[in-house]
Structure 1
Amino acid sequence: MPKPSAQVTAAEISRLAGVTRATVSNWRRRHADFPAPVAGTDASPLYDLEAVRAWLAARGHVSSASPAEELRTVLRLHTGTDGAATRLLPLVLAAAERDKDDLAALSGLPDADLAARCQEAVGKLTDVVPDADAITYTPDDASLLRALLHCVHGQSAQAALDVLAERELEDSAASGAYQTPQRLADLMSCLLAPGPGPYPARVLDPACGSGSLLAAARSGATCLFGQDSIPVQAQRSAVRLHLSAPRAEVAVRAGDSLRADAFPGLTVDAVLCNPPYGDRDWGHDDLAYDPRWAYGLPPRAESELAWVQHALAHLAPGGLAVMLLPPATASRASGRRVRAELLRASALRAVIALPPGAATPFHIGLHLWILQRPRPDETGQHTVLFIDTAADQRPSPAHTLPTQAAGTPARSREGRTDLDWTALSDTVLAHWRLFAADPAGFADEPGVARAVPVIELLDDLVDITPTRHVRTSPSAADPAAIAKRAEELRRRLKEGVTILAASSGGGGWQPAGEGARSWRTATIADLTRGGALTLHRAAPGTRGAQESERPGEGEEYAGRAVLTGYDVATGGCASGDPDGQAGAASVLVEEGDILLSSLRTVAPGAIVRVADATDAGCLLGPNLHLFRPDPERLDSWFLAGFLSAEDNINAASTGTTTIQIDPRRLRLPLLPLAEQRRYGKAFRRLYELRAAARQAADLATATADLLGTGLTGGALLPPGTQPESDSA
């Protein structure tokens, strides 16, 4: 029987044809021979892919979508269930090694010949990509193979790899794997070179994942070694490193590094690692007498300490390891003996506390451990460096604008987006380099960095949590500076309370009569069809995508701030990662647009706002819907007020565990523009009231926190107490 064709939505047809969604709608209405829907619903019809392609070809519509977008679409439409993205990973590398003429000729082969030639090319990569020889292609894969070759030919191998990585992590068992954020990977890589000498030549990552840490080290290292227990991650890492570091020697293997080390006897100059956390099945019983445990057998619940010793075992004397670890590793009672031996042997050089949101899991502040394989001829180290970056990177309510909520960091796939990574990295690297150059002469910075003698750490707890050791003592605090800051906060709090009181005034709220008003309403879908507004959106967690138009692609969007659903839901400023938006079909926010967050994490009234001058020019980011009204027909604040109504939001929401808002189902009263503006003015007053209340609450919290710290730290005296009377 013939293989059933894939089915596509109207949005996918627009991407295939390189036209707007509105154009596809026009085709459906104006052309009687346009393919009829074969499935779906009236609101979301599905069309036969082959019928659509034939219709487009008959009218000369050649796709103008990017090769990467075409590859993404073909992957989505592939009807197989055999992990197509995973099987295509090695082919990216094989295609990257061919010139464009060869790729074009290969794409023109018949399906069977194309599959055979691609399988032959991938089979030659067995020594480069793990398990490449087990991959097979059939004629049914021809559309996938051509789309990938076209992407490498027309765009780049890295673009093809990125598309496959998106799909592969969704389809495979690797979906629970998270890569180290790029800026954190860069910081960890820089920590390997604390002095003026050359960068370590040979670098190992025994839990390499997607290869982000080794990729960060590629500019200085000449040999990159990696291993991962998830085969598809090992394949992805191998392809990525061969593409990004073509001059380096790359060796990536699949397998569990603790149970089946793929590099026995290998010694390297440095190790970078973000190991799995909380793994009780790491091999405690089977590896009880393993020679790697030079500092003691790691307890069953301390798999992280097994990874630490595995890293040290692979280091040459004097080599450094930088590891990203959960904070509990520094304080759990079960691991205190191993920690003590690491300290006695001078194997632990520094512990750095990162702020929450720097990397997955986002809700805790992870630690960086810097370890060093002791040299046989050197004496024991007398101090350990502790750096606490969490306090400096905590969102500060005292310096928050009225429209920005404090206390909850915005996050993306690359971690917290409000982190000042430049300042954080500069602080960490500056202190680490000074300490590495002269541990004995290191000058502490109160509240940030401190070199602690090992003897002070070898107590009953052996707790090496940085916040435990990096503290501002009462003598180090400047009472005058704290008092000045407290007065400034109190002044701002008074101003905030005054603004709040003014915002809550202004009467004139009259009853509508004996009964509540009623009016005719229309859905957003109806208003969109009538031209009263346009609706735009961006896909969550991915590049921006416009629902009703594609304004173009190009450098004009690169580097712009990205406004996310989290920003709107928390009242924050644009915090999205611009790197994930550059080059994508994007929507620029304009003043007067209405922004609806699909994240129902706060009160419904807080998930809608009207874009102001600060938001204008930002890119529309994930988890956001944008409504752009015709100002001659709709008032922006009127629209925002009714869209945020709780009953309106509830009626347009679906799901139980994960709630989705369908913006087209939201309803709006049909009122004259003059009356809309009266309602809009009232809704704007309510928005200002909420903003003033949020600012006053944030300032009150910040003021109370600072005054409490000043009192308990001895820098401030209770009101009415004279400094001369302090006998303490």
Structure 2
Amino acid sequence: MHRRARVTAADIARLAGVGRAAVSNWRKRYDDFPAPVGGTTASPLFDLEEVEQWLAGQGKAPSVADEDRLWRNLLAASGEPAEALAAAGEHLLGQRTLPFDLLRPELDDLVEVHGPVATFDELWRRYAALPAQRSVITPDDLADLMVELAGAAGVSVLDPACGAGGVLRAAARAGAANLYGQDDDSRLTRLADLWLAINGRDGQVRTGDSLRADAFPDVAVDAVVSNLPFGQTNWGHEELGNAPWEFGPPPRTEPELAWAQHAIAHLRPGGRAVLLMPPSVASRRAGRRIRANMLRRGALRAVIALPPGAAPPHAVPLHLWVLQKANRGVAEVLLLDTTERDLEAAYRSVADVVTAFLGSGDRSDFVEAHTVPVLDLLDEEVDLSPGRHHLGDADVADAGPRLIDAGRRLTESAARMPGLLPGLEDGSGETVVSTITVGDLLRSGSLQILGPVRGGEGEQVEGLTLTVQDLTDGRPASGTADDRLNPRIALQPGDVVVSVSERRLVARVNTESDLLLGRQLWLLRPDPQVLDPWFLVGHLCTTVNQRLAGSLLGTSRFDVRRVQLPRTAMIEQRRQGDVFRRLHELTETIRETAALGADITRLTADALASGRLRPV
């Protein structure tokens, strides 16, 4: 019997284009909302067909992609995500007919439209988006960075803890020639092997414990790239105690250093390994002897501290170790701390700095500022934590000129503030103001509303996107649309961008071209002959409208259609709009001044503490 597809409340919210709070309210307000058919009280599951019928009856009919529907049905039929994906992959390869008869035509129809490779990739993305998988899968942008640092293009690559093959896929994207992977979870190696086969990649994936039962004992590769298992307590310390460890037998509490030596042992001379490590490996006392031996023999080239959120566990600032198969020692290593940067900026910095450090060309002063002589590290602790070094050098080397420049900019910002205060007069006599709602303006055609933008579907695009954080922090657009946006909305000067998912309604007038609207944002596009954009933004964010927009659901989500605007002539709109524009500039100037003051305070304290500057 065919089991019907089930969805969570989060899935329903995504299908209907609303927040989860809206789904919760629907369940409370509507007696005919579909009853849960499984799950738990905290995380109920609903029948997908019943949900679609209910949404259609309420005028909220979703457009469910064929891939989404097939994936949900596969999950319902198999009961296990990895099995669902594997069954589809084996059918696409012709290895085994899909065992779910009713779903076979759906899968074949998708293949007819998209081809087997694209169909499998679409199903893979849905598998990887499941909460249980997000907690263990290496994010694509981090995997791409790791294979770039390893120089994987055109060479052979091994991942001794490959899981479902995320790093191997990144190596394939980078143009690796031969791929080898091993993992002790047969469900995951089955998926990794299927991906290689469907995509026509040369590679071998084996099941087994790489440390205890190496599937490739005689294979030497150009690069080893891996997101290692963290904190193993039973990694084979007893069985492998007499193994020929090149840098010394790892203590029981140092499994990561066992993996690091395993990676180096598989490298050809001059080959490079890039491993994702927990930060404690750089400083634990039990591993200091092995770290010292790696330093002395030139095996350890760089340790990079990444910002929190790079990969699970997301709250921990993980490290990347860059190792090499060396036949002689080196004079210095690179210790780079990017923990204070956002991920995108950190990845760009890491790629540039490590490439310059390991390359044969001239290095920049910035690269040199993050190198440390090996002799300086060979002390009692052999602490390789990047944050423990460069405390008084790199950040304050040019403190004097930087303080002068910051002081000049602070003075200029402060001088601009009085001129931005708008001229106003008492209008208390005019107490009756006729209003119109944003919803009325939408119905009359004076205003368009577009969005919100979501991810996970749609075409892949390139360009700069305006994000929720950009809007909240008042900064220029900083996001990249290197993933899929749905829908793809290009911004125009005069558009009003609104975030309705924060604790307060935030809006601003867009003044730039060649930008895309980011996720979780709405766009209001006024008719410039009828509605001034600055007038609209100013009234959107008044205290009264914050309450009106937020009162529908009683949560932190807003319904911008409930916002009320004064009915007024265009000339008066422009006069008020000019006031709101000046107030916006004043707010941004105050924000800039506060940031400069904080920078001056921090830089002065650091420079005084390091002895770079002294009081006069």
Distance 1:345 1:79, change over 3 A: closer
1:174-207 deviations in Å (ceiling 9; x for gaps): 231233444x5455334445xxxx9785321122
C-alpha contact 2:67 2:122 (8 A) present in aligned 1 = yes
State how 1:199-218 maps to structure 2 within 5 Å: 201-209=155-163, 211-218=165-172
CA distance in 2: counterparts of 1:267 and 1:703, whole angstroms:
52
Correspondent of 1:39 among 26, 41, 54: 54
Give the deviation of 1:490 after TM superposition.
0.9
CA distance in 1: counterparts of 2:388 and 2:522, whole angstroms:
44
Q: Give the residue type in structure 2 aligned to 1:145.
A: L
Give the deviation of 1:139 after TM superposition.
1.5
CA distance in 2: counterparts of 1:517 and 1:334, whole angstroms:
76
CA distance in 1: counterparts of 2:529 and 2:523, whole angstroms:
18
Give the deviation of 1:482 after TM superposition.
4.2
User: In structure 2, what is the equivalent of residue 251 of structure 1?
Assistant: 204
Q: Give the residue type in structure 2 aligned to 1:711.
A: L
CA distance in 2: counterparts of 1:564 and 1:90, whole angstroms:
36
Distance 1:444 1:563, change over 3 A: closer
The 3-state SS of whatever aligns with 1:627 is strand
Correspondent of 1:322 among 274, 281, 299: 274
Distance 1:245 1:462, change over 3 A: farther
C-alpha contact 2:465 2:479 (8 A) present in aligned 1 = yes
Q: Give the residue type in structure 2 aligned to 1:508.
A: L
Give the deviation of 1:473 after TM superposition.
4.6
Question: Are 2:98 and 1:122 aligned?
Answer: no
Please identify, of 622-631 and 222-231, the stretch whose mean Cα deviation from structure 2 is larger. 222-231
Question: Are 2:263 and 1:311 aligned?
Answer: yes
Consecutive unaligned residues of structure 1, counting only runs of 5 or more, are: 15-35, 50-64, 95-117, 124-134, 396-408, 410-415, 545-552, 722-728
C-alpha contact 1:388 1:448 (8 A) present in aligned 2 = no
User: In structure 1, what is the equivalent of residue 514 of structure 2?
Assistant: 617
Give the deviation of 1:647 after TM superposition.
1.9
User: In structure 2, what is the equivalent of residue 508 of structure 1?
Assistant: 424
CA distance in 1: counterparts of 2:244 and 2:352, whole angstroms:
34
Same amino acid, percent of matched pairs: 32
Give the deviation of 1:317 after TM superposition.
5.9
* TM-score (norm: length of structure 2): 0.77
Question: Are 2:338 and 1:390 aligned?
Answer: yes
Consecutive unaligned residues of structure 2, counting only runs of 5 or more, are: 18-50
Give the deviation of 1:168 after TM superposition.
0.9
User: In structure 1, what is the equivalent of residue 67 of structure 2?
Assistant: 71
User: In structure 2, what is the equivalent of residue 138 of structure 1?
Assistant: 100
User: In structure 2, what is the equivalent of residue 148 of structure 1?
Assistant: 110
Correspondent of 1:693 among 590, 595, 600: 590
Q: Give the residue type in structure 1 aligned to 2:595.
A: D
Question: Are 2:324 and 1:417 aligned?
Answer: no
C-alpha contact 1:638 1:679 (8 A) present in aligned 2 = yes
C-alpha contact 1:389 1:448 (8 A) present in aligned 2 = no
Correspondent of 1:531 among 445, 451, 458: 445
Give the deviation of 1:160 after TM superposition.
2.3
CA distance in 1: counterparts of 2:274 and 2:317, whole angstroms:
16
Give the deviation of 1:626 after TM superposition.
1.3
Distance 1:263 1:594, change over 3 A: same
Question: Are 2:267 and 1:271 aligned?
Answer: no
Distance 1:673 1:2, change over 3 A: farther
Correspondent of 2:498 among 592, 596, 602: 596
Superposed CA RMSD in Å reads 4.5
CA distance in 2: counterparts of 1:619 and 1:85, whole angstroms:
34
User: In structure 2, what is the equivalent of residue 237 of structure 1?
Assistant: 192
CA distance in 2: counterparts of 1:13 and 1:694, whole angstroms:
37
Q: Give the residue type in structure 2 aligned to 1:592.
A: G
CA distance in 1: counterparts of 2:213 and 2:566, whole angstroms:
69
1:209-259 deviations in Å (ceiling 9; x for gaps): 45343344446644311134555543443344445563x3x1123455456
C-alpha contact 1:634 1:673 (8 A) present in aligned 2 = no
User: In structure 1, what is the equivalent of residue 40 of structure 2?
Assistant: none
Give the deviation of 1:286 after TM superposition.
6.6
User: In structure 2, what is the equivalent of residue 634 of structure 1?
Assistant: 531
Distance 1:485 1:288, change over 3 A: same
Please identify, of 561-570 and 525-534, the stretch whose mean Cα deviation from structure 2 is larger. 525-534
Q: Give the residue type in structure 2 aligned to 1:647.
A: R
CA distance in 1: counterparts of 2:93 and 2:199, whole angstroms:
24
1:275-319 deviations in Å (ceiling 9; x for gaps): 244x35554677574737654565566443343233234445654
Question: Are 2:337 and 1:370 aligned?
Answer: no
C-alpha contact 1:321 1:372 (8 A) present in aligned 2 = yes
Give the deviation of 1:610 after TM superposition.
1.5
Distance 1:143 1:569, change over 3 A: farther
C-alpha contact 1:215 1:244 (8 A) present in aligned 2 = no
User: In structure 2, what is the equivalent of residue 426 of structure 1?
Assistant: 352
User: In structure 2, what is the equivalent of residue 579 of structure 1?
Assistant: 482
* TM-score (norm: length of structure 1): 0.67
Distance 1:631 1:642, change over 3 A: same
CA distance in 2: counterparts of 1:716 and 1:120, whole angstroms:
68
Please identify, of 634-643 and 84-93, the stretch whose mean Cα deviation from structure 2 is larger. 84-93
C-alpha contact 1:356 1:363 (8 A) present in aligned 2 = yes
Give the deviation of 1:263 after TM superposition.
4.0
User: In structure 2, what is the equivalent of residue 399 of structure 1?
Assistant: none
Correspondent of 1:226 among 172, 181, 201: 181
State how 1:74-113 maps to structure 2 within 5 Å: 74-76=70-72, 80=76, 82=78, 86-87=82-83, 89=85
Please identify, of 236-245 and 636-645, the stretch whose mean Cα deviation from structure 2 is larger. 236-245
The 3-state SS of whatever aligns with 1:122 is coil
The 3-state SS of whatever aligns with 1:368 is strand
User: In structure 2, what is the equivalent of residue 104 of structure 1?
Assistant: none
Distance 1:541 1:447, change over 3 A: farther
1:550-583 deviations in Å (ceiling 9; x for gaps): xxx7xxx95321222222122222222232248x
The 3-state SS of whatever aligns with 2:128 is helix
C-alpha contact 1:500 1:692 (8 A) present in aligned 2 = yes
Distance 1:715 1:356, change over 3 A: same
CA distance in 2: counterparts of 1:213 and 1:74, whole angstroms:
26
Question: Are 2:147 and 1:189 aligned?
Answer: yes
Question: Are 2:363 and 1:463 aligned?
Answer: no
Give the deviation of 1:691 after TM superposition.
0.8
C-alpha contact 1:85 1:164 (8 A) present in aligned 2 = no
State how 1:562-577 maps to structure 2 within 5 Å: 562-577=465-480
C-alpha contact 1:280 1:300 (8 A) present in aligned 2 = no
Q: Give the residue type in structure 2 aligned to 1:150.
A: E
1:30-85 deviations in Å (ceiling 9; x for gaps): xxxxxx984248655459x9xxxxxxxxxxxxxxx9xxx54245435768253687
CA distance in 2: counterparts of 1:590 and 1:289, whole angstroms:
65
Distance 1:539 1:255, change over 3 A: farther
CA distance in 2: counterparts of 1:344 and 1:575, whole angstroms:
42
The 3-state SS of whatever aligns with 1:80 is helix
User: In structure 1, what is the equivalent of residue 463 of structure 2?
Assistant: 560
Distance 1:433 1:5, change over 3 A: closer
The 3-state SS of whatever aligns with 2:78 is coil
1:496-533 deviations in Å (ceiling 9; x for gaps): 11223333x3452647479x8776563x5554344332
Distance 1:459 1:9, change over 3 A: closer
C-alpha contact 1:258 1:282 (8 A) present in aligned 2 = no
Question: Are 2:567 and 1:671 aligned?
Answer: yes
